[in-house]
Amino acid sequence: MCGIIGYIGSRNAIPVVLDGLKRLEYRGYDSAGVAFFAERGIEVRRCSGKIQELASLLESENPFSHTTIGHTRWATHGRPSEENAHPHRSNGIVLVHNGIIENYLSLKKMLLGKGYTFTSETDTEVLCHLIENYARRYPLEDAVREALKEVKGSYAIAVIKEEDPGKIVGVRKDSPLVVGVGNGEFFIASDIPAFLNYSRDVIFLNDGEMAVLTNQGVSVFGSDGSPLKKEIQTVSWSPSMAEKGGFKHFMLKEIYEQPRAIADTLRGRLNAERGDVYMEEFGLNEDMINRFQKIFIVACGTSFHAALIGKYMIERVARIPVEVDIASEFRYRRPLIGPGDLMIIITQSGETADTLAAQREAKKLGAFVLSICNVVGSTSSREADAVFYTHSGPEIGVASTKAFTTQIIALCLFTIGVGKIRGTLSEDASRDFVEELLTIPGKVEETLGLDEMIRIIAKDYCKASDFLYLGRGLCYPVALEGALKLKEISYIHAEGYPAGEMKHGPIALIDEELPVVVFAPHDILHEKISSNIQEVKSRGGKIITITDRIDDQVCTFSDRCISVPPSNQYLTALLMAVPAQLLAYHIGVFRGCDVDQPRNLAKSVTVE
């Protein structure tokens, strides 16, 4: 996610803003910039790369300004570059933005018709010109308000106007924005760490609210322009805690970010009324989709588990054969892939060496390569024929959580779009699926409400030396993912297994010491998974059942029972992954492990 910081006060604002940007570096970024009032009006300085490069650029000038806004960019539209870096400018209007403007293309077309020219590929520049267009007739606050009425999407913005020095206007919708209140100095930022060194007094803005910062103070207005009386709250966080949004670890913060990450990944990709998915978001057209003979999906680790879920979904709904491979195995098995086939690469980082090698092999053999990736400008995204970006924001915890659930969302969108085009998914069925997709951020939020209950379960089982995870159908990959989460952050040996395989070996493991996590949704395999639970029970195993029904019969045979909200068979797999993430996280914490940076692991495995 991008980082925003603005300052007004008696200090030289530029070092304050640079310091604030440094404190937002944890959010991940690929370019940075500042805009400040100088003698000749507003000056803008931007560069791709790290904040240090921006600081060096400014050092030579050594400018002084009482009003400055700054930005670190996490690219969503347009590759990382100086032209795409913020702040963006339109005549006397300069702004920084965090979020996604869904209807930026239609707005851009309208603005081009008004004679505006564009120098970047970003959605933000569109917003800048739109505000400038209104600022010709209205004061800055009203111009911002009028422009945002035309905008669909998420935004946190800070805007300044050359003819209106000493003022910063900030507005938020679905992206965070907070105001820092110092002693005669005022801050506006994406997150508290940006100004925590200067003030702990914070005004939290709600969606639609506007903050106007001047040397005299801060005024807050509702979306209709009415003045609001906002409480100033004092935060007691340490800077390190503030970077984690008050969470103890990045991993927990990212588990809790999943509702927003899923909402952002869905944003601008579908039409709810028609139940349509915009397949151009995948870089695919109808002709291509109708021509694919076979689909290959290749990934590593958690992304591989998402790939397995994709296989079940695509084959069941779109009726295209899907082969899934661990990336490090793919290119050594002399795969029968070629022109007419689609290769889907799933990778959070876009830099995993094994995955890149498989991607290059598939490309060399003539397949069309689609990358489902979380990092704009990453190697996988640049080398693929098409890219679908999951907008989960930077994932800092080594254990992948929000990337996994947004990858499943991406695969759901792909499945719906392909199923509709190939005629295997009816209008009604796709509308139902899209409708259910839109409920998932709320259902994940509801599932996060189980956190304390799961923490207590984790405490009871954190001393186990082994775990077994069982699932059937779409929950088999979830069992693999749950086991991976546990082993990589708690160092407990854990295995994920298709529950139907119990009798072929793993049942020998069952005894009173072995906790068995069973994913038991009420789908067509429920009776079978219930029998598996009985098998474990009758041999004294300790059963932690994750179901989607509170009064589930299987809970009477379980030692612990966790129930997630019901959903369709595909999205239930996503919802069931969340308790597994929380269970692994809490067990890791109880065992005193470094859950954000587990031993021996790297966030991105860039070597084979």
Catalytic residue among 2, 412, 475, 555: 2
CB of 74 to ligand AGP, least distance (A): 16
**Site for ligand AGP (CB under 6 A): which residue of 122, 347, 405, 558?**
347
* Three-state DSSP class for residue 61: coil
Residue found under tokens 């708690």: 490
Q: Which stretch binds ligand AGP (CB under 6 A): 16-24, 27-35, 234-242, 297-305?
A: 297-305
Residue found under tokens 């995204």: 381
Residue 231 falls in which region: left (phi positive, over 0), alpha (psi -120 to 50) or beta: beta
> Looking at this protein, which amino acid is placed at residue 533?
I
The residue (of 347 and 572) whose beta carbon lies closer to ligand AGP is: 347
- Residues in 362-421 that interact with ligand AGP by CB under 6 A: 398-400
Secondary structure element (H or E) that encloses residue 142, with its range: helix 140-148
The residue (of 398 and 583) whose beta carbon lies closer to ligand AGP is: 398
C-alpha separations of 336 from 300, 360, 366 in Å: 20, 15, 11
Q: How many CB atoms lie within 10 A of CB 328?
A: 18
CB of 73 to ligand AGP, least distance (A): 20
CA–CA gap between residue 221 and residue 215 (Å, rounded): 17
* Three-state DSSP class for residue 233: strand
The residue (of 34 and 345) whose beta carbon lies closer to ligand AGP is: 345
Quick check: is 300 catalytic?
no
| Number of chain residues interacting with ligand AGP (CB under 6 A) | 15
The residue (of 429 and 605) whose beta carbon lies closer to ligand AGP is: 605
The residue (of 341 and 488) whose beta carbon lies closer to ligand AGP is: 488
Cis peptide before 87 (omega within 30 of 0): yes
> DSSP code of 564?
P
CA angle 601, 602, 606 (to 5 degrees): 125
CB of 52 to ligand AGP, least distance (A): 26
> In sequence order, what E strands does 74-226 have?
88-90, 93-101, 153-161, 167-173, 178-181, 186-189, 201-204, 210-214, 217-221
302 near ligand AGP (CB under 6 A)? yes
- Residues in 252-281 that interact with ligand AGP by CB under 6 A: none
CB of 395 to ligand AGP, least distance (A): 8
Ordered DSSP codes for 424-478:
SS-HHHHHHHHHHHHHHHHHHHHHHTTHHHHHHHHHHHTT-SEEEEEE-TTHHHH
C-alpha separations of 256 from 152, 449, 580 in Å: 24, 10, 13
- Residues in 430-489 that interact with ligand AGP by CB under 6 A: 488
605 near ligand AGP (CB under 6 A)? yes
C-alpha separations of 525 from 476, 480, 492, 519 in Å: 11, 18, 29, 11
Q: Which stretch binds ligand AGP (CB under 6 A): 243-251, 254-262, 344-352, 494-502?
A: 344-352
**Site for ligand AGP (CB under 6 A): which residue of 5, 131, 300, 502?**
300
- Residues in 166-185 that interact with ligand AGP by CB under 6 A: none
Ordered DSSP codes for 414-426:
HHHHHHHHTTSS-
- Residues in 567-586 that interact with ligand AGP by CB under 6 A: none
The residue (of 147 and 251) whose beta carbon lies closer to ligand AGP is: 251
Which residues neighbour 167 within 8 Å (Cβ) at sequence distance 6 or greater? 8, 67, 140, 160, 161, 212, 213, 214
558 near ligand AGP (CB under 6 A)? no
CB of 307 to ligand AGP, least distance (A): 10
CB of 64 to ligand AGP, least distance (A): 43
Q: Which stretch binds ligand AGP (CB under 6 A): 182-190, 341-349, 364-372, 470-478?
A: 341-349
Quick check: is 603 catalytic?
yes
The residue (of 33 and 350) whose beta carbon lies closer to ligand AGP is: 350
**Site for ligand AGP (CB under 6 A): which residue of 124, 349, 381, 415?**
349
Catalytic residue among 50, 152, 363, 603: 603
Q: Measured over all CA atoms, what is the biggest interatomic distance in the chain, rounded to whole angstroms?
A: 81
CB of 313 to ligand AGP, least distance (A): 19
Cβ atoms 300, 330 nearer than 8 A: no
Q: Which stretch binds ligand AGP (CB under 6 A): 1-9, 34-42, 273-281, 296-304?
A: 296-304
The residue (of 554 and 582) whose beta carbon lies closer to ligand AGP is: 582
Helices (H), 462-594: 475-490, 526-538, 569-590
Q: Which stretch binds ligand AGP (CB under 6 A): 212-220, 347-355, 433-441, 567-575?
A: 347-355
- Which residue in 324, 361, 355 sits closest to 477, CA to CA? 324
The residue (of 51 and 483) whose beta carbon lies closer to ligand AGP is: 483
- Which residue in 305, 307, 326, 303 sits closest to 315, CA to CA? 307
CB of 332 to ligand AGP, least distance (A): 18
- Identify any residues that bridge with 46 across adjacent strands, giving them in sequence order: 33
**CB-closest chain residue to ligand AGP:** 301
In the complex, the residues that contact ligand AGP under the rule CB under 6 A are: 300-303, 347-349, 352, 355, 398-400, 488, 604-605
Question: Which residues participate in catalysis according to the annotation?
Answer: 2, 603
